[in-house]
Structure 1
């Protein structure tokens, strides 16, 4: 982080909203330096780690200030329809013959699961990945089982990486002993950033107490690239000959390793630009209208999130006729390309401003980024329109009830459709939140 500036301290309740960006940034830098000094006095955290996290926050805050000054950075009229070369059909990808053995393909792969979320939306305390899903197996159990079976079946060596947040890191570490002898398991903690007071744009925390539950936050999964490098794993995997990393949410039970997509990346079709980044998209339905979508913007593929859409264009964004696909957050990315962009400091990702109201009426903002938004930085980036079966997220107890049911069967850590089903579409399940909001209620139903 930069040295404390010479600008005098501004009392904490004073606002920097009306200041020029440079002056506002200087004052916020002083606030951050004071946080470091307080942490050093109380010995409350690793100071060097804290500095690194605050450097990343400062970059996001600088970008936020610039965005505030120039307004929305998406000019709606410049959005162009996706071309056929922008999004490949899944069938065209998986029907291509494998260029080598499945084991050789898999030996070039790293699987990373985003494991930063808590189970609060389903009435649970602790990491969401530790909620039981099928036969007393948790999300994490199923993920490990999937990688373990894959490696045994193809005599391969696919490592599993978990990106935890400060909310999930300790509890996930406590259970890793169950898996260490089964898979090559790695985990690291992503960045933590200070929340910002909405009225003053000053950092909210006065100390580095990550357990207070209100002052700090994990800045979204777009932090994966910097955090992966900071962990040392990016360099390690490259030295081991790994080439691509498959990133997905740990609660998406459809996000399995797809050899067809991996083959497409490692052995691209002739006369095509090798893809450094693949985003799996799937057809949008009326229940997905707020999902981020892939767009053609000024000659590059961009991820357009709902929060970035100008108010006048919200209805158009929700149209499934114009924006036909949405991002599943299943991402395949070149490790070499990640390293190149980070070393050159040329990776640019849009800032998402997430407004929250805390207990006590305190209004704050969180500056976040999305992993998929990095797509515009990579050469040859494309989307692949995958079947809906590759997008099976469990966000609410109604989703949990569906995946626990006999609509699915469990094979080698993967949920597959029960062949007795007459229709491939999942039923729409709505549960009364007053009675069925918590996992315990669902378990009682299924006993």
Structure 2
């Protein structure tokens, strides 16, 4: 039986190769990257993790942030550090879950400023303060590329070099016969997908940006999601990596019950590696989700040495775990094969994690997160979103908003102003609820409008427990 399966896989691959060769929309690099990914998938390369071999990383491998040496106060030292740095934001995501068309990074976060505005202001203030030139790179997908180019024009007078490049564009695979969707007459955007942010290393190289940066003397890239407001340049981490010649560093932070699905760092056969929930055998999923055994999770703030990226991409050594993502498009079952940048950690030398304060992880994935960052829980200083010291509880309130609040437009229209939540523990809102101005929420608050009724909360009300 096995022999039949092998020949059909070989056949699948060879049919796929000839079909992909005829796709004029993508480059030769993208074609070979895609075929490489599919052939690895067909070989069933997924190594099963042996649960008994998993060890908790020591403090040498996951370094406590507070144990790192503080950076010298001398501005010349800081300038020298920053001149080796590039900031890269993953900007391929659309704001579709929040009801937006176009790149998620142009959603307004605070005071009329978008994610992208805040990122630019942060780097501008660093460059101005230290006389350095930290460039900003935006990795777009074919979904966000055109819009981002238009948006970036408004920063043409700033003191930052802004570069954009696209991640790869791969054809979706039709499950039934394993052929590319675009070959089946699906010529629009629905025929394609961006293969996850694990593609950042290859795309940096393919775009020519990597060699250009190396020729300018840049050594490290700080990679983060554009919607993580906590992902700012940290000199202490950069200095530590340069001193210790760490080629890769993943920022992790203590797990709360809200983060049980996030990937975690483990020591495995003498190397540090990322363990994602998808790799966990079924019988160990609950153990993986517990915050006793696996205390930290990946924030996807990554610091990587540029020379090391070049070496590993050139030798085709970055074989990150493949994440199969099945979808249905217009009634057709398709498959997307993706990879994640965090999984690359095990291929780099002297790779470490850093256990950072929770303030470095402030993603906005839904309007409930937007409520947090627009509230008095945070203030804005030089583009940095800073947590209000008046809140004594180190954890943020948990917020659950009903479907009426899911889209940004609807969310904004339902608040005359964002309530004060400094003393809030949890908020649950369901039904047709509208908020007046100057409202204060304290303790545990639940607001429910009966079906078919509109509930308006008057201005200036204090709701406690």
Query: Equivalent residue of 1:167, what SS?
Result: coil
Given candidates 55, 61, 80, the residue that maps to 2:55 is 80
1:89–1:385: 8 Å Cα contact kept in structure 2? yes
TM-score of the aligned structures, taking structure 2 as reference length = 0.84
Query: Equivalent residue of 1:206, what SS?
Result: helix
After the TM superposition, list the runs of 4 or more consecutive aligned residues in structure 1 that deviate by more than 6 angstroms: 207-210
Q: What are the within-5 Å matches in structure 2 for residues 157-172 of structure 1?
A: 157-172=133-148
Query: Equivalent residue of 1:347, what SS?
Result: coil
1:30 paired with 2:15, answer yes
Displacement of 1:295 after TM fit? 1.1
Displacement of 1:201 after TM fit? 3.4
Match of residue 412 from structure 2: 443
1:403 paired with 2:393, answer no
1:313 paired with 2:289, answer no
Q: 1:317 to 1:98 in 2, by over 3 A?
A: farther
Identify which range, 401-410 or 310-319, moves more after superposition: 310-319
2:21–2:31: 8 Å Cα contact kept in structure 1? no
Query: Equivalent residue of 1:101, what SS?
Result: helix
1:217–1:366: 8 Å Cα contact kept in structure 2? yes
- The 2-side partners of 1:332 and 1:265 are apart by 8
Displacement of 1:356 after TM fit? 2.1
Given candidates 2, 20, 27, the residue that maps to 1:50 is 27
Q: 1:25 to 1:179 in 2, by over 3 A?
A: farther
Q: 1:432 to 1:275 in 2, by over 3 A?
A: same
Cα-to-partner distance string for 1:113-163 (whole Å, 9 max, x where unaligned): 000000011011111011111111111111111111110011110000000
Given candidates 165, 182, 206, the residue that maps to 2:183 is 206
Match of residue 374 from structure 1: 344
- The 2-side partners of 1:389 and 1:208 are apart by 47
Displacement of 1:23 after TM fit? 4.6
Displacement of 1:376 after TM fit? 0.4
- The 1-side partners of 2:52 and 2:44 are apart by 18
Query: Equivalent residue of 2:68, what SS?
Result: helix
Query: Equivalent residue of 1:163, what SS?
Result: strand
1:392 paired with 2:362, answer yes
Match of residue 277 from structure 1: 248
2:16–2:178: 8 Å Cα contact kept in structure 1? no
Q: 1:265 to 1:437 in 2, by over 3 A?
A: same
1:21–1:65: 8 Å Cα contact kept in structure 2? no
Displacement of 1:348 after TM fit? 2.2
Q: Taking CA–CA contacts closer than 8 Å with sequence separation of 6 or more, which of the two structures ends up with the larger relative contact order?
A: 1
Match of residue 304 from structure 1: 275
2:15–2:179: 8 Å Cα contact kept in structure 1? no
- The 1-side partners of 2:56 and 2:389 are apart by 37
- The 1-side partners of 2:357 and 2:117 are apart by 24
Match of residue 10 from structure 1: none
Given candidates 326, 334, 343, the residue that maps to 2:297 is 326
- The 2-side partners of 1:198 and 1:315 are apart by 31
Query: Equivalent residue of 1:158, what SS?
Result: coil
Displacement of 1:197 after TM fit? 2.8
- The 2-side partners of 1:436 and 1:290 are apart by 24
Match of residue 388 from structure 2: 418
Report the aligned-residue RMSD: 2.0
Given candidates 125, 132, 142, the residue that maps to 1:156 is 132
2:12–2:178: 8 Å Cα contact kept in structure 1? no
2:379–2:385: 8 Å Cα contact kept in structure 1? yes
1:140 paired with 2:111, answer no
TM-score of the aligned structures, taking structure 1 as reference length = 0.88
Gaps of at least 5 residues in structure 1 are 1-16, 269-273
Cα-to-partner distance string for 1:309-361 (whole Å, 9 max, x where unaligned): 2222211111111111000000000001111112222222111111223342x
May I ask how many residue pairs the two structures share in their alignment?
Answer: 413
- The 2-side partners of 1:425 and 1:94 are apart by 26
Displacement of 1:279 after TM fit? 0.4
1:98–1:260: 8 Å Cα contact kept in structure 2? no
Match of residue 173 from structure 1: 149
- The 1-side partners of 2:77 and 2:66 are apart by 20
Q: 1:253 to 1:184 in 2, by over 3 A?
A: same
Displacement of 1:60 after TM fit? 0.9
- The 1-side partners of 2:162 and 2:14 are apart by 37
Displacement of 1:19 after TM fit? 5.0
Match of residue 428 from structure 1: 398
- The structure with the greater share of residues assigned to strand is 2
Gaps of at least 5 residues in structure 2 are 417-465
1:98–1:263: 8 Å Cα contact kept in structure 2? no
- The 2-side partners of 1:27 and 1:363 are apart by 17
Query: Equivalent residue of 2:181, what SS?
Result: coil
Cα-to-partner distance string for 1:216-266 (whole Å, 9 max, x where unaligned): 110000000000001111111111111100000000000000010011012
